[in-house]
Structures are given as C-alpha cells and as structure tokens.
Amino acid sequence: MATWEEAQSGQARARQARLGTSLRARADQALVLVVLLAIWQGLSFAFGTYWVGSPWGVATRFFGGILNGEIPRHASYTLLEAVAGFLIGAIPAAALPFALRRLPIVTAILDPFLVGGYGAPKLALAPLFILWFGIGIESKIALVAITVFFIVYFSALAGIRALDARLVQMAQVMGAQEHDVARHIVFPGAVPYIFTGLRIAMPYSIGGAVIAELISANRGLGYLIQLSAMNFDTTGVFVALAATTCIVFAGNWIVNVVERRLLRWRPPPDFDLQAGS
Amino acid sequence: MTSQEAALDLREASRLRWRQYAVTAGRIGLVALLLGAWKLGADIAGPLYAADPLEVLERIVADTLSGSLLHHIYVTLRLSAIGFAIGCACGVALPFLLRRLPRLTIAVEPYIMASVGVPKYALVPLFILWFGIDDAPKLWLVGLLVFYPVFIAVFAGIRNVDRRLIAMARVVGASEAAISREVIWNSLLPFFLAALKIALPRAVSAAIIGEFLVGNEGLGYMIESSRNNFDTTGVFTGIVVATALVLVINTALVRIDRRLNAWRPTDRHMGL
Amino acid sequence: MAAPPLLEVRDLSKRFATRAGRDPSSWVIQGLSFAVSDGEFLTIIGPSGSGKTTLLNMLAQIDTASGGEVRFQSEAAPIDDPKGLNPGLSCKIGYVTQEDNLLPWRTTLQNVLFPLMVQRRLNDETRERAQMLIRAVGLAGFENHYPHELSGGMKKRASLIRTLVYDPPVILMDEPFGALDAQTRAQLQDDLLRLWSLGRKTIIFVTHDIAEAIALGDRTLVLSRPPASIAGEHNNPIPRPRDIAGIMTHPEFAALYQSIRAQVQ
C-alpha cells in the first residue's frame, strides 16, 4: 500500500514535470489508445460479440443505459452502499486514535486485535453478513464499513503518532491547554495521514460493495454484472464494468479535489526543509 | 546521581513493568470478553444467526479428522500459490521489459494506471464466462490481484534506482543484463519484498472470494455452500479457519521479513 | 539599592539519563549560576555542544534540571519534577527556538495570532499589534502565505514576532539568526534591537557568534565546555542606540572581542 502512494507522490509529480505535457508523449498515448481499441474490435470480430462485446456495441449500450436511467439506478444503489459504509467505517476509525490518545495502555491492549483485524480477510465475511442482514443494502454497507474501518484506523493512528513534540512544546510555552493542543496541533497534523487512509479506502469501499453484490443482491452494478454474465451478455458485462470503473475514477477525482483544498498548506513532495528560498 | 534522579529512575522502571502486566492482562481479558460475548450472542440469536463457539470447535475437529477441512485448505492454498506465482512473474518481468522501451513505457503508462481503477473482483463473472467454471477464472483473479502491487512496486523501484550507479556500471563495461541483475534488482529488492508482504495474503483472500463465486472446492466454497444450506456453524467454521489461515501467513511473513532484514535499520514509520 | 534580579539561576545542573537507567552519564551543565535584571539584554556565548539549548529549555520550563534552582521574580520554579513543569511559566517566559516551529497548516498571520488565541486574548487591539509587528519585520503582504511558501528568513521573522506579539516579560532566544545569510541576519538583528528598544523586555539571547553577542547585548556570559558553567562575564560598554553594521569599527569592540574570544575555548 505504501508503495503505491510513493509511486503516486514524489515520482509521479517529478515525472509529470519532465514529460507529461510533451507533445510526442501525448501523441504516443493517443496512438496506444487507438491500437487498444483496434485490438478490442479485432477480438470482438474474431470471437464474435457473444464472447467479446464490440467497442461500438458497448458504447451504445452504455449511453443508452444512462439515458434510460437503468445505469444510474443501479449505480446509485452501489454508490449508496459504498458511501454509507465508508462513512460508518471511517468516522469511528479516525476518531478512535484521538479518543485513546491519552490512554496509551488501551491502545496497546487493542493493538494486536486491530492488527489481526486489519490482516484478516474482511471480504470473506460477506456470506456471514448476507446471512445476517439479508440480500439488501445493509449487508453491503456492513462489509464496506468493516473494510474501511481498519484501513482508516491505522492511518489515523500513524497521524497521531507522527506528532511533532516540538510543536506541542512551543504551544505549551505559549500557554496552550490540553484541548488547545488536541484541536490545533494534533488534529491538523493528523489530517494528511487520515486523508491517505481515506484515499486508500475509497476504492475498497466501491470494490467491497460490488463484491457483496456479486455474491447475492438484486440491485446494483455488481448485480448487473452478475446478471449479464448469467445471460451470456458480454456487452452488458462490459457496460456494467465500465460504469463501475467510472465511479472509481470519479471517487479518485473527488478525493484529489478535496485534498488540494484541504491540504493547501502541505509543502510539495520534493520540498527540501533545509533550504531557505 | 542525585537522590531525586535515582528515585525518578526507580519509579520509571517499576511503572514500565506494571504497564506491561496491565497490557497483557488487558489483552487476555479482552479475549475472554470476546469469547464470552460470542457465546452469549449465539445463545440469544439462535442457531440460525450465530453458531455456538463450542460447536464451531467441534466442527473444526470433526472436519479435520475426516480430512475434508484439510482438503479444502489445500485447494485454496494451491490456487493461491499458482496465481501468486503467475502474478509475481508477470509483475516482475513487465517492468524490466518496459525499462528497455522508454517511449513505449510513457505511452502505455496512463492506461496501466487507469486499469488499477477497475475493481478486479468485478471481473470474475466475465472470467467465468470466458474461461469456464474450473480453476481458470480464479487463477486470473488471484494473478491480477498479485500482479498490480508487484508491478507497481518493481516499476517504482526501477524508477528510483540511482542513475549514477547505472552510469558507473556502464562505464566499467557491464552488459544491460548485468546491470539489471546487479544494480537494479538489488536496489528494488526492499520495495519488491514489501509488495510481496501485501500480495501473498491478498492472493489467499482472492482465492477464497473467487471460491464464493465459482467452483465446488476450497474454503470459500465451504463458506458459501454452508450459507446456502443455512448451516451457520459451517459458515462460522469456514470464516474462522480462513481468518486463522491468513493471519498465520501474515505472521510468518513478518517473522521472515524480520529475519531477512535483521541487518537493516528498519524504518518503523513506513506505517502501512 | 539594586532591584532583585528578575531571573536568577543558582547552581543549575543537568545530566541526561541513559537508556540503561543506572549508568551515570556525563554532566552537561554543572554548577551554573547567573542572574538577569529586568530590561536587560543578556547574550550567552558558548561553543557547540555546550548545552546552550539545554539551558534555555530548563529556563523555559520544558525540561527538568538534575539539580540547582531557577528563580523567577524571587520565586523558585519547580524544575525537578517532570509532572510539575509549567512550560513558559504561565506565559511569563517566551521562547524563540532554533527551528521556527511554525504550524505548517496556519498562514503567517494565523501563526502570529496563535499565542493570542490560545491565551484568549484575541481582540482588535491585539490583532492590530500583530499587524504592526508583521509590518515591522517586513512581512507585510505575506500574511496569507503558508510556511512552506516562505523563505527561511521570513519564517524566522514570523517565529520571532509570534513570541513578541504576546509580550512576555522575559524572552529566550536560541541562536535565532544562526541559519541565515549575513545580510538577512544583520537586518533581523537591527529589527530585533529596534523592537526591543520599544518595550525593553528582558532578553536572554544565545549565540555562537561573538560579534553578534557584542552587537546585541548589554552583558555577555561565556559558557565553558561541558560540564558547562559560566566561564566569564563581560559587560558591554558600547552605548545604545547601536549601529549593527558598523559595530566592528567601534573603538571598544576589539578589546571586548578579544577578551571574550580568549574565554571561548
């Protein structure tokens, strides 16, 4: 997980600076897109649309599905599961390390359990939740919530632990009370870490909702995928997959936008703390 | 040392010791509490919603003795291992290949990044459609889920290699293959191992969830079929075993990692 | 009869505990004594590693002492028990640390207002004071910048006025201008003296630069190598207001410099 973040931050930005806007690179990328589409069309031709829906067929079905409301209906169901589960999981997970900040013994006691919970396959609980809550929305929300919880908890915990003691000392010398320190130093310092956790958890929330729907549901994009597959309708499967991927991209975009606003104060990754200016 | 200091030191040491006791006692207490809550929950909720812990234990023993549990575990692990090997091989090979073709890399990179956004589990019905109902779709799933973290780690690792080391190697006449082997591989080894630590438990999880969706063997199948038969004890048994399996693998990886890297100054702040 | 010193240090000692617990580590500070009068600008010089920061940490009450006492306005401060520490002595002692320690998530103005907010003293009058200080050190126009957008010198200035804004009677300064280039340093020394002359606070200024110590201080103390104590005390006869840029040409400078230099080993 840490490696993906690293790949994204420092290197990606540096790389973008080097060659992102180069005209040749853009042309190459466009060329690759054309090639990929050609291959796709070729496969569809070779195997028949039964096995591989054609790009055109998928595109028309996709936009048709949006226009007649079918896709938005299912997508909103999946989205609701993902968002509700995300909030139910993320909010307690972010709050817990704060609440336990002054009780390190409790944190220490809980640690192996939480590490175990983090390592355990939460998605394997899907059948259990379906057993308990039925095939409705609750089982999906529960699954998403528990997956998101552990991710965000450890991110928030890292944020609390990364506290710069010198800043706290400085504030205390100036007369800050305990709650001032918590509100103005601990919390803002932890926000970037919590944010990393949210960013990592976001695709898991959508993925978790979809998986639960694959197993058992009667609405949602996962259900749509499963239904199309069972009807040997590859075009339908592609359409539902595309819709799911779009939601993930939208989620990424939202996270980026919020981060840019919320974390304006962050020095850019290549920042050299020692340099003056 | 002043008497004040000596007194403070003593207080500090005994306080630490008491804290250790308190933490361990707290953990044991919490385990007991959780088990108790489980039993209570099972009694209240009834056999349909919650399986009694003792019955789960009985079932585990019975299934182990009959061999069926071990068979299911074996099937799942075999699936994970093969998928892991495939995903790993591709994840390592592709970046090295791309290294020789920088222009292609730049052209292809945005699409690879974009493909990360596709939820791999959502592809399973498609794989079932294409590849049948045997192991193939599950292998694709595991392979993909292992491929991405490994690929990204190796890719980033290669990018991060110190260019000066490569230049130095070229100057002394090393072939491209030798450079790949010596300089690059060793530089990215820590990233690669970190990715493996993530990918291996993921492979097992993926195998289990694949088995939810297709197949008639394995831990995932055991859990799903129990659910379909309203055999709650079976569901609980499967989940307990699956969780234990993954946790054991995690712990083993941590131990191995610690042993292998005993000489490195560990960066505890790597967090996740 | 002279007024009692504002801040008095008697026989101060500090030794850091080693991890092993029982093995005695060496004394960083031992038997350190000096006094500071109200309104005095005291500079302290010492070689690197002589425990200058440790001394200031103890004075600011963010670290305990292993022995001796610190008296503020004739009252002993509780510095032997970590639990009893009162950082900043209820905002009587300000501390400008070596690192700027600005809160990265606050703008310049918000950082400067931070102590006022925390002390519940934020009102129009104090805001105006903050603005005045921002203008005084040349940070006007940068109020809404975040620390990472400021240069090292600018961050230092912000950190400085952040302490000045709430007007503590005593201000400790730990090599605040050390990491800056000569020009910025001269400018800030000038700014500091100007601001100090407006309010005549008591300042204890630590530096390793003898010229700076002479340029700024009424009196200069020299710390010995660890275990550090006061190796010498030098009164500074150069009259105020001082010309920082031309301080070295002052007739009294050379002799003072030599005598201080001789003690700094």
ipTM score of complex: 0.85
Contacts of B9 (CB under 8 A, 6+ apart): B1, C17, C21, C22
Q: How confident is the model at residue A272 (pLDDT cuts 50, 70, 90)?
A: very low
Residue B78 clears pLDDT 90, i.e. is over it: yes
Distance between first and last Cα of chain C: 36
pLDDT, position B269 = 39
Residues A169 and A32 in one domain: no
Interface of C with B in 46-85 (CB under 8 A): 66-67, 80, 82
Residues B153 and B240 in one domain: yes
pLDDT, position B110 = 87
Position A15 in a domain? no
Residues A69 and A139 in one domain: yes
Model pTM? 0.84
Instruction: Dig out the tokens for B113 from the structure.
Output: 């990044």
Of the residues C63, C99, C103, C119, the best mutation for testing chain A's interface (the one with the most A CB atoms within 10 Å of its CB) is C103
Instruction: Dig out the tokens for C232 from the structure.
Output: 């010498």
d(CA B95, CA B113): 13
* A29 and chain B in contact, CB less than 8 A: yes
- Answer whether B1 sits within 8 Å of C67, measured CB to CB: no
Of the residues B17, B108, B120, B121, the best mutation for testing chain A's interface (the one with the most A CB atoms within 10 Å of its CB) is B121
Residue A268 clears pLDDT 90, i.e. is over it: no
Give per-residue pLDDT as tens, B163-208.
778 788 888 887 877 777 777 877 788 888 888 888 999 999 999 9
Give per-residue pLDDT as tens, C36-69.
988 899 999 987 766 888 889 888 888 888 888 8
d(CA B233, CA B53): 9
Report DSSP state, residue B134.
S
Per the structure, the count of domains in chain B is: 2
Cα torsion angle, C24, C26, C28, C34, sign:
positive
d(CA B127, CA B137): 5
Using CA coordinates, name the residue in chain A closest to C89: A173
Residues of B in contact with C17 (CB under 8 A): 5, 9
Q: Measure CB to CB from residue B106 to each of A28, A128, A207 and give the nearest one.
A: A28
pLDDT, position A1 = 40
d(CA C262, CA B195): 60
Q: How confident is the model at residue A19 (pLDDT cuts 50, 70, 90)?
A: low
Residues B22 and B88 in one domain: no
Residues A43 and A71 in one domain: no
DSSP string over C121-159: --SHHHHHHHHHHHHHTT-TT-TT--GGGS-HHHHHHHH
pLDDT, position C229 = 83
- Answer whether B129 sits within 8 Å of A7, measured CB to CB: no
Residues A147 and A33 in one domain: no
Residues A119 and A39 in one domain: no
Give per-residue pLDDT as tens, B114-151.
898 899 999 999 999 999 888 999 999 999 999 999 99
Residues A72 and A82 in one domain: yes
pLDDT, position A149 = 96
- C7-15 and C27-36 strand pairing: antiparallel
Identify the CATH homologous superfamily for domain C1-92+179-265: P-loop containing nucleotide triphosphate hydrolases (3.40.50.300)
**Can you list the alpha helix ranges (DSSP code H) found in B46-132?**
53-66, 68-99, 102-116, 124-131
Residues A39 and A75 in one domain: no
Report DSSP state, residue C2.
P
Position A14 in a domain? no
Residues A133 and A235 in one domain: yes
pLDDT, position A274 = 41
Q: Which domain holds residue A40?
A: 23-51
pLDDT, position B271 = 36
Cα torsion angle, B58, B60, B62, B65, sign:
negative
Residue range B221-227: mean pLDDT, rounded: 92
Per the structure, the count of domains in chain A is: 2
pLDDT, position C243 = 83
Give per-residue pLDDT as tens, C139-168.
999 999 999 999 988 999 999 999 999 989
Q: Which domain holds residue B80?
A: 53-270
* Contact residues, chain C to chain A, C-beta under 8 Å: 60-62, 87-88, 90-91, 93-95, 97, 99, 101, 103-106, 114-115, 118-119, 146-148, 150-154, 163, 166, 179-181
Q: What CATH number is given to the structural domain containing A219?
A: 1.10.3720.10
* A234 and chain B in contact, CB less than 8 A: yes
pLDDT, position A277 = 32
B247: helix, strand or coil: helix
Q: Measure CB to CB from residue B13 to each of C15, C21, C80 and give the nearest one.
A: C21
The whole-angstrom distance between A168's CA and the closest CA on chain C is: 9
pLDDT, position A276 = 38
User: For chain C, what are the domain ranges?
Assistant: 1-92+179-265, 102-167
Neighbours of A243 (CB within 10 A): 21
* B103 and chain A in contact, CB less than 8 A: yes
pLDDT, position B70 = 93
Largest separation between any pair of C-alpha atoms in chain B: 79
Which chains lie within 8 Å of chain B at 3 or more CB pairs, if any? A, C
Residue A7 clears pLDDT 80, i.e. is over it: no
Q: What CATH number is given to the structural domain containing B85?
A: 1.10.3720.10
Position A66 in a domain? yes
pLDDT, position B125 = 93
- C219-223 and C7-15 strand pairing: unpaired
Q: How confident is the model at residue B5 (pLDDT cuts 50, 70, 90)?
A: low
* CA-closest candidate to residue C231, choices C66, C45, C5, C59: C45
C-beta of residue A176 within 8 angstroms of C-beta of residue A138: no
Residues B117 and B251 in one domain: yes
Cα torsion angle, B215, B81, B145, B127, sign:
negative
pLDDT, position C261 = 86
Position A7 in a domain? no
What tens-digit pLDDT sequence spans chain C (265 residues)? 456 788 888 888 888 766 555 566 678 888 888 899 888 999 999 877 668 888 898 888 888 888 888 888 877 777 777 777 788 788 889 999 888 899 999 999 999 999 999 999 999 999 999 999 999 888 999 999 999 999 988 999 999 999 999 989 899 999 888 878 888 888 889 888 888 888 788 999 999 888 899 999 899 999 888 788 888 888 888 888 888 888 888 888 888 888 888 888 6
Residues A40 and A161 in one domain: no
Give the A:B interface size as CB pairs under 8 Å: 175
Position A268 in a domain? no
How far is residue B205 CA from its own chain's centroid?
A: 8
pLDDT, position B210 = 93
pLDDT, position B270 = 42
The whole-angstrom distance between A7's CA and the closest CA on chain B is: 6
Strand arrangement, sheet containing C41-45 = C93-96, C170-174, C202-207, C41-45, C219-223, C230-235
Residues A62 and A188 in one domain: yes
pLDDT, position B272 = 33
Position A273 in a domain? no
Distance between first and last Cα of chain B: 42
Tell me the Ramachandran region of residue B233: left when phi exceeds 0, alpha when psi lies from -120 to 50, beta otherwise. alpha
Residues A47 and A96 in one domain: no
Residues A106 and A124 in one domain: yes
* Contact residues, chain A to chain C, C-beta under 8 Å: 166-167, 169-177, 180, 184-185, 188-189, 191, 264-268, 271, 275-277
Position A242 in a domain? yes
